[in-house]
Amino acid sequence: MISDRWGDAWDWRASVDSVLLRGCRKAEGLFAVVWQCDYAAALSCNEETALNKEPSTSMIRRRLERLGVDFPVLIAPMVGISHVAFRELIRSYTPVGLNPLIFTEMLSTRRLPSERLDAVNEIRVAEGEGYFVPQLLGNEERFIAPSIEKLLRLGPWGFDINMGCPVEHILKHNWGVRLLGDRAYAADVVRMTKRHSPLPVSVKLRGGADADLDVTWLDEFTAALEDAGADWLTIHARPRARGHTGEANWRLCSEIASRRGIPIVANGDVQTADDALSLLGPDFGMDGVMIARAACVRPWIIWQIAARMGCTTAPQGRAGELPPEGGIAEGREYVRACLTMIDQLETYFEGDDYIRKKFSFFVATGARWFPFGHAFWALTTKAKSVSHLRELVTGWGERSPDSTYARIEL
Ligand SMILES: Cc1cc2nc3c(=O)[nH]c(=O)nc-3n(C[C@H](O)[C@H](O)[C@H](O)COP(=O)(O)O)c2cc1C
């Protein structure tokens, strides 16, 4: 059922007006305006209208929404980054009333059954945090079942299965991207996960098992996952051999989305709000987009996307503000975000060294979007304590906050 969760937070009638005005002012073109208005209406109208209205080409897909997903932008699993402090940072920039799904980093199902939930930093969650999705790494029911049972105690929104990690020690166990080599077995992993999960189950996979992307192969593979009961799929549109570099093939995601009955989310190279809107719009027709590295440089990207869609609410404590836009404003906000990140790391984790390392890794991932990002990262590695780190970041912000690039070559 589509709840009325949009109702309170998002005055869509007002937002349609403002989108129309903005659309006219910027001469974005009638099509974009129509699409954005339809989106606002689709998201905020009552259940009856939303379900009865057939999707049209001028309207973004609503298949994820029907599954209960609150917002069509998801934040990706990233080892070393997608911990509770990062998730809280993203939420601190999310307009009140929106609940985007944020993934945990991949979690080994071999280890989870014997781990204490309160003793492992990677599975720490915030109080009342309901919209997180643990990503499972594994392929055996005897480990997957107890892992799910344990994680359910944390109150996740759903589970994701990793079919994209190319790291060597993971391949040894036939986990991650190796599952792409055996369609029947990969489908079995979905079936076994569904057997034990009362919550939605998704799969995050690569667009190609080896060096190339192949639409026929991907069509058959994703069809098998759909038949096995996957609730949605996220396609990282780069083949295994490319790692995280180069452009992602969004067209391939779009092609698969048109062939599957379940929602398809595109991942890879989504760096700006405009990228996301283009993928969600009629040109690509994606059900959702997933953002990884760009969320480390602009953790407010969901705010930017929501604002462009007509959302009039701001994040907690930012009422009346618009999201930062443009290199200088975003560069300034980045310093503020870094300080929030340090606060969050201190709230959830112990150990000066640990906190500084986690912070530096976060900075290293976003640094390439700044002309002087490397110098900033190097500065953070020189901190002797967390309070020193805070001083260094503050000093950098006061002296010369860097200006972000909108897009870079990944
Ligand atoms: C530091 C880092 C860690 C990652 N860890 C995971 C992971 O745990 N699970 C996963 O499915 N993908 C992982 N990825 C891949 C991302 O989720 C994403 O698919 C990839 O970075 C492409 O998206 P992007 O171009 O938006 O960065 C990781 C990527 C990075 C950069």
Taking only the tens place, the pLDDT of each residue in 179-200 is 888 999 999 999 999 999 999 9
Pick from 274, 320, 309, 325: nearest CA to 19: 309
The residue whose C-alpha atom lies closest to atom 21 belonging to ligand 1 is 292
The preferred substitution site among 236, 269, 305 for testing ligand 1, maximizing ligand atoms within 8 Å of CB, is: 236
What is the reported pLDDT for 123?
Answer: 95
The residue whose C-alpha atom lies closest to atom 13 belonging to ligand 1 is 78
- CB of 158 closer than 8 Å to CB of 148: no
Taking only the tens place, the pLDDT of each residue in 197-215 is 999 999 999 998 887 888 9
DSSP 8-state symbol, 323: P
- Quick check: CB of 270 below 6 Å from ligand 1? yes
Whole-angstrom distance, CA of residue 146 vs CA of residue 106: 16
What is the reported pLDDT for 170?
Answer: 66
Cα R_g (the chain), whole angstroms: 21
Ligand 1 center from residue 241 Cα (angstroms): 14
Q: How many alpha carbons lie under 13 Å from residue 223 in its C-beta half-sphere?
A: 9
Residue 51 pLDDT exceeds 70? no
**Which ligand 1 atom is the nearest neighbour of the CA of 291?**
26
What is the reported pLDDT for 60?
Answer: 63
Of 6-10, 124-128, 189-193, 279-283, minimum mean pLDDT range: 6-10
What is the reported pLDDT for 175?
Answer: 73
**Which ligand 1 atom is the nearest neighbour of the CA of 81?**
1
**Which ligand 1 atom is the nearest neighbour of the CA of 290?**
26
Binned at pLDDT 50, 70 and 90, residue 239 comes out as confident
What is the reported pLDDT for 178?
Answer: 81
Residue 30 pLDDT exceeds 60? no
**Mean pLDDT across 263-291:** 97
**Mean pLDDT across 20-25:** 34
Ligand 1 center from residue 320 Cα (angstroms): 33
Pick from 313, 326, 337: nearest CA to 272: 326
Q: What is the mean pLDDT of the chain?
A: 85
**Which ligand 1 atom is the nearest neighbour of the CA of 293?**
27
The residue whose C-alpha atom lies closest to atom 22 belonging to ligand 1 is 268
Ligand 1 center from residue 198 Cα (angstroms): 26
Taking only the tens place, the pLDDT of each residue in 347-402 is 999 999 999 999 999 999 999 999 999 999 999 999 999 999 999 999 999 997 78
- Quick check: CB of 137 below 6 Å from ligand 1? no
Tokens describing residue 167: 């790291």
- Quick check: CB of 170 below 6 Å from ligand 1? no
What is the reported pLDDT for 162?
Answer: 94
Taking only the tens place, the pLDDT of each residue in 94-146 is 999 999 999 999 999 999 999 999 899 999 999 999 999 999 999 999 999 99
Binned at pLDDT 50, 70 and 90, residue 41 comes out as very low
- CB of 6 closer than 8 Å to CB of 97: yes
DSSP 8-state symbol, 369: G
Strand partners, 73: 289
More confident: 288 or 213: 288
pTM assigned to the model:
0.88
Binned at pLDDT 50, 70 and 90, residue 160 comes out as very high
Residue 64 pLDDT exceeds 80? yes
- CB of 397 closer than 8 Å to CB of 372: no
Pick from 198, 106, 186, 126: nearest CA to 158: 198
Whole-angstrom distance, CA of residue 176 vs CA of residue 137: 7
Residue 220 pLDDT exceeds 90? yes
- CB of 206 closer than 8 Å to CB of 158: no
